[in-house]
Amino acid sequence: MVTALRHLPSIRRAGRVGLLLGALLATACHKAAPPQPPGDTLWVKVVEPKQLPAGGGEAHILVRIQKPGGKAFPGVQVRLQTSEGTLFSAGRVLVTDGRGMTRDRLTTAKTATITLNAGGTRYRFPVPVEKRRR
């Protein structure tokens, strides 16, 4: 028992070191949440061309997310989905760059509705395909 009491301070130190290592490991393993755009964020989407010709084609979709005041919002996760055709991203998460921008490409033969989801906010916009003339 005397030996155990003599080593008690070193056991306490070992316990503290174990707690400290556990806390450091938990912090290192925890992934930081991606930035979430606030509700008053400005969303700018550009579709080129604005309308696809009869029979369809490719449209380039550029998304820019800005903070109030016009500053870029980098690191925001964005997911695009389409009602028709296919997206180059295949629905994977895209992340805005240092300019607050990300892009995708839609290939479709029919008018599509794109759903943009960023930070839990959804925004829908059409990509029209010109009707065939008879």
Listed as ranges, residues in the chain with pLDDT below 50 are 1-33
Question: What CA–CA distance (Å, rounded) separates 134 from 131?
Answer: 9
**Coil, strand, or helix at residue 24?**
helix
Of 38, 35, 40, 89, nearest to 61 (Cα)? 89
Of 117, 94, 46, 102, nearest to 72 (Cα)? 102
pLDDT at 69: 84
pLDDT at 23: 36
pLDDT at 38: 53
| Whether this model's pTM surpasses 0.75 | no
Q: What are phi and psi of 90, to 5 degrees?
A: 55, 30
Token readout for 49 is: 């061309």
What CATH number matches the domain at 42-127, 2.60.120.10, 3.30.565.10, 3.90.950.20, 2.60.40.10? 2.60.40.10
